[in-house]
Structure 1
Amino acid sequence: MADGEDDSSSNLSVSLPRQTLIRGKKRKITLHSMVLRRRNSGQADPAEPPTVQTSTPVSSSVSCLQAVPLQTDITDMAARKRYELRRRRSLQQSEGDGCIMSSSMVATTDERSIGLLRKRIKGDLLTEAQSSLDLPIERYLSDSSIDVLPDEIFMKIYSFLYEGDLLTCSAVSRRFYRLSNDLNLWKILYQGVFEYRIPLYHPEPRKFEFREIGRWRDVVNPWKESFRQLRQGVHVRLGFAHIYEGHSGRKILHFKNLNDAIEHCEQLPSEVEKLVFLHEGMYTSTQLVVDTPLQIIGAGSSRNFQDSVIVDSNNGTTITFVEGSEYAYLGFCTVRYIEPPLDPVRVGNTQHLCSALVVNAFASPLIEHCSFSSTCSGGATVCVKHEGANPYIRNCSICGSDNVGIYITDNATGTYEDCEIARNTLAGVWVKNKANPYFRRCHIHDGRDVGVFTFEYGMGYFEKCDIHSNRISGIEVKNQANPTVVRCDIHHGQTGGIYIHEKGRGQFIENRIFSNQFAGIWITSQSDPTVRKNEIFSGQQGGVYVFGEGRGLIEQNNIYQNNLAGIQIRTGSDPIVRLNKIHSGYHGGIYVHEKGRGLIEENEVYGNALAGIWVTTGSCPILRKNRIHSGKQVGVYFYDNGHGLLEENDIFNHLYSGVQIRTGSNPKITRNKIWGGQNGGVLVYNCGKGVLEDNEIFDNAMAGVWIKTESNPVLRRNKIYDGRDGGICIFNKGRGLLEDNEIYRNAQAGVLISTDSNPILRRNRIYKGRAAGIEITNGATATLEGNHLFQNEFGGLCLASDVRPIMRDNLIYDNHNAVDRTIAKGYCLFKISSCTSFPMHDFYRCISCNTTDRNAICVNCIKSCHKGHNVEFVRHDRFFCDCGAGSLDRQCTLQSETRDNDTVYDSATPTESETT
């Protein structure tokens, strides 16, 4: 033995490293030792496939095995892992003896079967059987011919076996384990039984998920694992009983109809999973009532197989879940109720309201990937009722029914996710009688009634739902109902978006409400919702419409691009409108009319086509701390007896006046900033009234305040300054009380009173004007008491001919009297007036030059330019000299050229707004 080992080592040393030489030493092997090694090895671990196989002796007549070299490449054998087999020396002959073995050591039948088992690979040492060079390779392999069969033959055999047979084969050897776990084998078996195109993940009751092969973690064969998870289910498959019955390798129950399968499951022990696979087909049931944790799941091979698994009924509710079904499951099927033809005998009897699905008290099934429909003309397709009813319904479709889609009532709850509720004759969802469901990401559309109807104290939480194209409003809230609607899209309603009436309530937060035919939100008949942080836009009518004594909190919304007013308040309604942006509307911003009220504060109202805020017809809102700007007409418009409080607002940059008051309106306007108006600050006309106190009115293109056409406002403690025209203009029988105001730095007269007007001015300070302090002309008069007129350019008080005001205790001082000084220096008055102001002095007309009453000539031009002409004194009044302006045929000798620093501007009448 030693000599043989030395020779072998020397031969191997040429091509192998030392370590390989040590492992590859030859050893003699006896049949006896092989048997003992096999016996000691025990059962092979099926987790790892072998790299080397052993053979079992088939005959006891062999007397001697001669050692010959194995016909295998030594280098290749050394590269692979080897078995480490230990010899029991007590049972082996010495190396010098022959190879004769006792017949008592011949391998038994059990030992032969063990010979096919695979061994765990150990280390890198060669086994004795592999390292022995005494046994011919042909003789060695011929001892177990099954090992030389190719995998294809086994796979062909396995393709005729069932899952039980494959599990048995997998325990035989590592090779059998590997082959019997082939993915394709189990896929074919799986799809033959369950029909699913993708393996179904079912780790626990009520959890079913189709997972692609690559998404199964730590699972080698997903088809086999899914088969294991679903093995306890029973099957209902029309015409395919032969697949499930009569096979020793398969223990799967099959039933001809659903009722029998359910009865079988109800008799199972509580610890056994109750699972029914309902395969493609139409199953007519007789009112299935589930009161156990039964699981019914559809099965099929098509992509949308749930549409082909149909359960229907025509003599009562199709499926009812009652108490005891807390852990029940229904999935991947279609459930219908089909109303039977009308029975003439039963005409006039009470109508029976049946549903496709009913969930009763204390039932909480999980229902997913199902379709429900009903042709019953009353009731609902899905009905969830009574306290404790709490289903979890997701990814379901309730479409095309002749009644309500989902009806939740009587303290029922439930979670409804990712469902489609569409094309139903009545409302998509009814919530009533303190029911409080949770809807998330549902698609509720194209109903022939309202989308979601909550009434009679119904509640509910609706999140991220898409509600659109319903014939009436998207959501209706009525009779003390109080839902919460968050981050939903509510659009293209054929009437309105959200309709809240008859003391309805609710919270509507962060929704997008757009493109509805009528108002985005209607609030009426003493309803009191909270509308916060929504986007309300592109409505065919208004944004938010509050009427019929409606209330509510409308806060932090973005309301824009609506065809009518962004917010409309009327008929005694009194909402709180706070912190909203109301802009870019094709009508007004906020419209308060017909005795509407409301607290409107801290809003930004801008860029609207008509008035920013309209107040009319007896309305009396409170408008406080708003920014109202950049409108294309008026900022705030009071007309037709509009009243209210306008307080601490910033009103600026409107194309018309900042504030207009007319036709009997009498608001209180206090502590506002009104500026940048292209048509004046405040316009009071057509018998308008109002109290304006403590306001700042400045930087307006025309007069700071206009009072005309018999209007009679009160202006008290206002600051009116830096106007590009006059401070206050009172025309056309205008009146008013002007008291304790400061009027300064205006381009024209501080106060201009004209055309039969008769105001009262008391204790005002009028100063630093670039024209006169007070000018009274055209038959007007006034009562002037205790006023201070100083530092005005043209003079403190200028009175036209025949003007006789009532004057008491006025102080007129430190005025520049530029008109008198210009006349005294012999200049033309046009020198100080240009075409933009109208100093008051004597003016004449020249008969010789054929001038008319419309032409005015200053006294110095009469003395110089028209010297010796036939002239006529007209009156003492406001004018600019036409001679100096170059509008007469004769060239002015006192004025070298016409200097025009603006267009001719005679305190032009402001633009008045018209109602629409």
Structure 2
Amino acid sequence: MAARKRYELRRRRSLQQSEGDGCIMSSSMVATTDERSIGLLRKRIKGDLLTEAQSSLDLPIERYLSDSSIDVLPDEIFMKIYSFLYEGDLLTCSAVSRRFYRLSNDLNLWKILYQGVFEYRIPLYHPEPRKFEFREIGRWRDVVNPWKESFRQLRQGVHVRLGFAHIYEGHSGRKILHFKNLNDAIEHCEQLPSEVEKLVFLHEGMYTSTQLVVDTPLQIIGAGSSRNFQDSVIVDSNNGTTITFVEGSEYAYLGFCTVRYIEPPLDPVRVGNTQHLCSALVVNAFASPLIEHCSFSSTCSGGATVCVKHEGANPYIRNCSICGSDNVGIYITDNATGTYEDCEIARNTLAGVWVKNKANPYFRRCHIHDGRDVGVFTFEYGMGYFEKCDIHSNRISGIEVKNQANPTVVRCDIHHGQTGGIYIHEKGRGQFIENRIFSNQFAGIWITSQSDPTVRKNEIFSGQQGGVYVFGEGRGLIEQNNIYQNNLAGIQIRTGSDPIVRLNKIHSGYHGGIYVHEKGRGLIEENEVYGNALAGIWVTTGSCPILRKNRIHSGKQVGVYFYDNGHGLLEENDIFNHLYSGVQIRTGSNPKITRNKIWGGQNGGVLVYNCGKGVLEDNEIFDNAMAGVWIKTESNPVLRRNKIYDGRDGGICIFNKGRGLLEDNEIYRNAQAGVLISTDSNPILRRNRIYKGRAAGIEITNGATATLEGNHLFQNEFGGLCLASDVRPIMRDNLIYDNHNAVDRTIAKGYCLFKISSCTSFPMHDFYRCISCNTTDRNAICVNCIKSCHKGHNVEFVRHDRFFCDCGAGSLDRQCTLQSETRDNDTVYDSATPTESETT
């Protein structure tokens, strides 16, 4: 109760008191004892006798004896006094009483002290060596006064602050060491016992050092009051490497400062001598410092700004900037490692990063850009792991891999390179996984000179040239990538290269999908190739790839195009829905095409022309708008055991001196002739089954011939075998049976042949011209129209051949008397020549 009464309100004293009345109080200063003692001692008031006015009050006399004169002073007076004290004095005052403890822990009081010593605008969290974090006031958990707590955590540090020695020296309440230069501060820290933290605060200013060598767990951190104070804490050297970490610096730290090497002017006396390559920072063998929030630069024309070398060198460098140097940004070599996170490496004269000689660093979320050379260069067995880096706008490629180097690049953006995205050469390797490679001036990825990388699950798009370019005996696994919207081929393979290309999507390109040329090879399987402006796959100039189990569809030209001695194996692919033919073979090309499905083309299924060859075995060719297979212009393929059916034109058309061996095929349910042979062609047909066609089984016309052996021709609408005038094929052991012979039945019934042909087919029979009606050989008239419509006219037999009746079609001046209605001839159908692809 006594303790509580001290804080109760007193009654106001009477204003009518004599001059001698009142409470005459004497006070003494409060003495302090250890806080762990039984309690705080106070001197009580020794007052005079109470006056008569006081005695008239109801409250007991003890209420007026409970407070000292210090207790009645307002807080503002103490805060004014405390503002002149230092941290040691405040700690002493905080042990006097609860009130003093509360007042001496005021946030603003400690903030002013803290910023006077350390300059930081936000308190710095430092719970353990090498851990420094600026934390806003509200983020300090279980801490009442973050400014005081940060002061406590940093109290053992020494300070280097030009022109401010008076802040740190000559104060009884402050025990903080201050040095005029960085070398003296480091020398002092090196003499401290091992259990004492070695911490140097380097304040804003420019410090010229002479080759600082750190071989202890020294921590150097910049300090300043500006928002980007690290730009104003500058350590530079023009006489050797600025800072070097060597063995013994396993727990060293460097942070929040700018480190530069400035090359001295050229000494005329030393011209011609060996150039000394100096760096801003070197991390040597068995050194593993933590370096963060620093900027490094160098004007040395050779070497590197940051050099990490030799086995055991393992720095942790994060949130640093290596920009604007006249040499390499970071050079890691000779089995060195290290972790490099969230760094910006930009605008350097040479490569942003060099990794060499079995070095194996880990780069994560780094921004490597606008270099005047390559972005990342790994060579001579260099390795490294690069994750989520943004690499762009470098003058050469974003990443270059050379001489057995073997990096891993994962989930990086590699774009806007002024040459290519990734360049792998001279037996380079590497794993490139889940990256976005786009908008590069040349190919997204180049693989050459016996290199063998793994390229998986990347997006490669919007290249000014191709997506992936493999040449010069390049190899590699190119798997599960999404390659699209490139200006040249999605994948190009040439000059003896032999990659594995599988499970990719190659689509929407402004050129072809896959282009194999100049003796290129490769295993190309299970890809989806679609929607490209030119051929889905081109094979040319002596190339011989294996194309297996691909889906090649919806192209704006050909599906697969073999030309100029293109060879290879096309096996078990699904080829459909192309604007031109599904497969084209020409000019000496000789692929093997087996077990494919070729269907749904808006042109033909397979077109072999201009001396093309090829072996087509066990394929399904169906539902194409034109002939399932075209053979023309002295081409000579082999077709064996194919099924050619449900075509919207003929099954196989052989024109213009076409040849070929057609053996053991099934040709059925096609809209026109199962096999049409014309214009001096001479194929061999052996053991084929040609049936259920909606026209004739085999038609031979226009000076062509053939060798027909052991074929079965049955259930065809117009007849089994139809031969034009003067056609005399070689025939042995053919079976022609059970055909519907609709042409002969129509003639026998006296109908016009146009009744069964309309404008969509060409039945074979005798056709005439009418001299009286002034018709020509181009106007064919069937025999029944001659007998009926042109009865009594001067007529002439032309030949026995394929035609539809122009009289029945209504294309002559005289109306046909055998047709019930007049047909217009605006949509007269003719067997159109398939579209041939351009090669450029």
SS in 2 for 1:793: coil
The question of whether the paired residues in 2 share the 8 Å contact of 1:384 and 1:408 is answered with: yes
The question of whether the paired residues in 2 share the 8 Å contact of 1:657 and 1:678 is answered with: yes
Match of 1:696?
Answer: 620
SS in 2 for 1:89: coil
Question: CA–CA distance in 1 between the matches of 2:473 and 2:674?
Answer: 45
Cα deviation digits, residues 417-461 of structure 1 (max 9, x gap): 000000000000000000000000000000000000000000000
When structure 1 is superposed on structure 2, of 81-90 and 652-661 the one drifting more is 81-90
SS in 2 for 1:105: coil
User: For 1:515, which of 415, 439, 458 is the aligned residue?
Assistant: 439
The question of whether the paired residues in 2 share the 8 Å contact of 1:767 and 1:789 is answered with: yes
Match of 2:407?
Answer: 483
Cα deviation digits, residues 234-281 of structure 1 (max 9, x gap): 000000000000000000000000000000000000000000000000
Question: 1:828 and 1:376, CA in 2 relative to 1: closer, same or farther beyond 3 A?
Answer: same
Question: CA–CA distance in 1 between the matches of 2:32 and 2:151?
Answer: 38
When structure 1 is superposed on structure 2, of 98-107 and 306-315 the one drifting more is 98-107
The question of whether the paired residues in 2 share the 8 Å contact of 1:83 and 1:119 is answered with: no
Question: 1:98 and 1:623, CA in 2 relative to 1: closer, same or farther beyond 3 A?
Answer: closer
Question: 1:378 and 1:126, CA in 2 relative to 1: closer, same or farther beyond 3 A?
Answer: farther
The question of whether the paired residues in 2 share the 8 Å contact of 1:117 and 1:172 is answered with: no
Shift of the alpha carbon at 1:140? 2.1
SS in 1 for 2:34: helix
Shift of the alpha carbon at 1:852? 0.8
Shift of the alpha carbon at 1:806? 0.2
The question of whether the paired residues in 1 share the 8 Å contact of 2:22 and 2:50 is answered with: no
Question: CA–CA distance in 1 between the matches of 2:142 and 2:52?
Answer: 37
SS in 2 for 1:905: coil
Any unmatched runs of 5+ in structure 2? none
Shift of the alpha carbon at 1:904? 2.4
The question of whether the paired residues in 2 share the 8 Å contact of 1:435 and 1:459 is answered with: yes
The question of whether the paired residues in 2 share the 8 Å contact of 1:698 and 1:721 is answered with: yes
Shift of the alpha carbon at 1:93? 32
Shift of the alpha carbon at 1:903? 3.3
The question of whether the paired residues in 2 share the 8 Å contact of 1:83 and 1:126 is answered with: no
Question: 1:284 and 1:641, CA in 2 relative to 1: closer, same or farther beyond 3 A?
Answer: same
Question: 1:85 and 1:111, CA in 2 relative to 1: closer, same or farther beyond 3 A?
Answer: farther
When structure 1 is superposed on structure 2, of 105-114 and 469-478 the one drifting more is 105-114
Cα deviation digits, residues 832-856 of structure 1 (max 9, x gap): 0000000000000000000011000
Question: 1:362 and 1:634, CA in 2 relative to 1: closer, same or farther beyond 3 A?
Answer: same
Question: 1:113 and 1:649, CA in 2 relative to 1: closer, same or farther beyond 3 A?
Answer: closer
Question: 1:893 and 1:78, CA in 2 relative to 1: closer, same or farther beyond 3 A?
Answer: farther
Question: CA–CA distance in 2 between the matches of 1:736 and 1:884?
Answer: 37
The question of whether the paired residues in 2 share the 8 Å contact of 1:118 and 1:175 is answered with: no
Match of 1:211?
Answer: 135
Cα deviation digits, residues 701-722 of structure 1 (max 9, x gap): 0000000000000000000000
The question of whether the paired residues in 1 share the 8 Å contact of 2:23 and 2:48 is answered with: no
Question: 1:263 and 1:863, CA in 2 relative to 1: closer, same or farther beyond 3 A?
Answer: same
Question: CA–CA distance in 1 between the matches of 2:453 and 2:28?
Answer: 98
The question of whether the paired residues in 2 share the 8 Å contact of 1:82 and 1:121 is answered with: no
Give the TM-score normalised by the residue count of structure 2.
0.94
User: Which structure 1 residue ranges, 4+ long, deviate > 3 Å from structure 2?
Assistant: 77-139, 898-903
Question: CA–CA distance in 2 between the matches of 1:624 and 1:126?
Answer: 114
Cα deviation digits, residues 685-729 of structure 1 (max 9, x gap): 000000000000000000000000000000000000000000000
Shift of the alpha carbon at 1:123? 30
Shift of the alpha carbon at 1:135? 7.0
Question: CA–CA distance in 2 between the matches of 1:108 and 1:368?
Answer: 45
Shift of the alpha carbon at 1:166? 0.2
SS in 2 for 1:902: coil
Shift of the alpha carbon at 1:539? 0.1
RMSD: 5.3
Shift of the alpha carbon at 1:144? 1.6
SS in 1 for 2:368: strand
Shift of the alpha carbon at 1:886? 0.3
Question: 1:196 and 1:179, CA in 2 relative to 1: closer, same or farther beyond 3 A?
Answer: same
The question of whether the paired residues in 1 share the 8 Å contact of 2:13 and 2:54 is answered with: no
The question of whether the paired residues in 2 share the 8 Å contact of 1:756 and 1:779 is answered with: yes
User: For 1:414, which of 327, 338, 342 is the aligned residue?
Assistant: 338
Question: 1:253 and 1:772, CA in 2 relative to 1: closer, same or farther beyond 3 A?
Answer: same
Shift of the alpha carbon at 1:288? 0.2
Question: CA–CA distance in 2 between the matches of 1:124 and 1:829?
Answer: 147
SS in 1 for 2:336: coil
Question: 1:260 and 1:668, CA in 2 relative to 1: closer, same or farther beyond 3 A?
Answer: same
Question: 1:84 and 1:663, CA in 2 relative to 1: closer, same or farther beyond 3 A?
Answer: same
The question of whether the paired residues in 1 share the 8 Å contact of 2:597 and 2:621 is answered with: yes
When structure 1 is superposed on structure 2, of 544-553 and 129-138 the one drifting more is 129-138
Question: 1:103 and 1:525, CA in 2 relative to 1: closer, same or farther beyond 3 A?
Answer: closer
Shift of the alpha carbon at 1:117? 5.8
Question: 1:151 and 1:897, CA in 2 relative to 1: closer, same or farther beyond 3 A?
Answer: same
Question: CA–CA distance in 2 between the matches of 1:261 and 1:886?
Answer: 110
Match of 2:173?
Answer: 249
SS in 1 for 2:330: strand
The question of whether the paired residues in 1 share the 8 Å contact of 2:506 and 2:530 is answered with: yes
Q: In terms of Rg, which structure is larger? A: 1
Any unmatched runs of 5+ in structure 1? 1-76
Match of 1:531?
Answer: 455
Cα deviation digits, residues 93-121 of structure 1 (max 9, x gap): 99999999999999999999999769999
The question of whether the paired residues in 2 share the 8 Å contact of 1:597 and 1:620 is answered with: yes
Shift of the alpha carbon at 1:221? 0.1
The question of whether the paired residues in 2 share the 8 Å contact of 1:614 and 1:638 is answered with: yes
The question of whether the paired residues in 2 share the 8 Å contact of 1:835 and 1:900 is answered with: no
The question of whether the paired residues in 2 share the 8 Å contact of 1:82 and 1:123 is answered with: no
Question: CA–CA distance in 2 between the matches of 1:639 and 1:414?
Answer: 52
Cα deviation digits, residues 776-800 of structure 1 (max 9, x gap): 0000000000000000000000000
Question: CA–CA distance in 2 between the matches of 1:104 and 1:542?
Answer: 91
Question: 1:128 and 1:211, CA in 2 relative to 1: closer, same or farther beyond 3 A?
Answer: farther
SS in 1 for 2:188: helix
Q: In the alignment, is residue 892 of structure 1 matched against residue 803 of structure 2?
A: no
Give the structure with the higher percent helix. Answer: 1
Question: 1:98 and 1:361, CA in 2 relative to 1: closer, same or farther beyond 3 A?
Answer: closer
Equivalent positions of 1:123-138 (< 5 A) are: none
SS in 2 for 1:262: helix
Question: CA–CA distance in 1 between the matches of 2:67 and 2:801?
Answer: 139
Question: CA–CA distance in 1 between the matches of 2:174 and 2:248?
Answer: 32
Question: 1:573 and 1:100, CA in 2 relative to 1: closer, same or farther beyond 3 A?
Answer: closer
Cα deviation digits, residues 365-396 of structure 1 (max 9, x gap): 00000000000000000000000000000000
The question of whether the paired residues in 2 share the 8 Å contact of 1:840 and 1:876 is answered with: yes
The question of whether the paired residues in 1 share the 8 Å contact of 2:579 and 2:603 is answered with: yes
Question: CA–CA distance in 1 between the matches of 2:625 and 2:192?
Answer: 90
Shift of the alpha carbon at 1:896? 1.8
Equivalent positions of 1:6-155 (< 5 A) are: 140=64, 144-155=68-79
Report the number of matched residues: 840
The question of whether the paired residues in 1 share the 8 Å contact of 2:35 and 2:95 is answered with: no
Question: 1:692 and 1:508, CA in 2 relative to 1: closer, same or farther beyond 3 A?
Answer: same
User: For 2:258, which of 328, 334, 344 is the aligned residue?
Assistant: 334
When structure 1 is superposed on structure 2, of 855-864 and 84-93 the one drifting more is 84-93
Give the TM-score normalised by the residue count of structure 1.
0.87
The question of whether the paired residues in 1 share the 8 Å contact of 2:26 and 2:47 is answered with: no
Cα deviation digits, residues 27-83 of structure 1 (max 9, x gap): xxxxxxxxxxxxxxxxxxxxxxxxxxxxxxxxxxxxxxxxxxxxxxxxxx9997999
Question: CA–CA distance in 2 between the matches of 1:845 and 1:731?
Answer: 26
Question: 1:758 and 1:91, CA in 2 relative to 1: closer, same or farther beyond 3 A?
Answer: same
Question: 1:633 and 1:898, CA in 2 relative to 1: closer, same or farther beyond 3 A?
Answer: farther
Question: 1:119 and 1:449, CA in 2 relative to 1: closer, same or farther beyond 3 A?
Answer: farther
Question: 1:79 and 1:587, CA in 2 relative to 1: closer, same or farther beyond 3 A?
Answer: farther
Question: CA–CA distance in 1 between the matches of 2:291 and 2:37?
Answer: 51
Shift of the alpha carbon at 1:122? 27
The question of whether the paired residues in 2 share the 8 Å contact of 1:694 and 1:716 is answered with: yes
The question of whether the paired residues in 1 share the 8 Å contact of 2:31 and 2:96 is answered with: no
Shift of the alpha carbon at 1:912? 0.1
The question of whether the paired residues in 2 share the 8 Å contact of 1:586 and 1:610 is answered with: yes
Shift of the alpha carbon at 1:897? 1.8
Q: In the alignment, is residue 825 of structure 1 matched against residue 749 of structure 2?
A: yes
User: For 1:574, which of 495, 498, 504 is the aligned residue?
Assistant: 498
When structure 1 is superposed on structure 2, of 128-137 and 779-788 the one drifting more is 128-137
The question of whether the paired residues in 2 share the 8 Å contact of 1:82 and 1:125 is answered with: no
Question: 1:78 and 1:908, CA in 2 relative to 1: closer, same or farther beyond 3 A?
Answer: farther
Question: 1:188 and 1:770, CA in 2 relative to 1: closer, same or farther beyond 3 A?
Answer: same
Question: CA–CA distance in 2 between the matches of 1:111 and 1:559?
Answer: 74
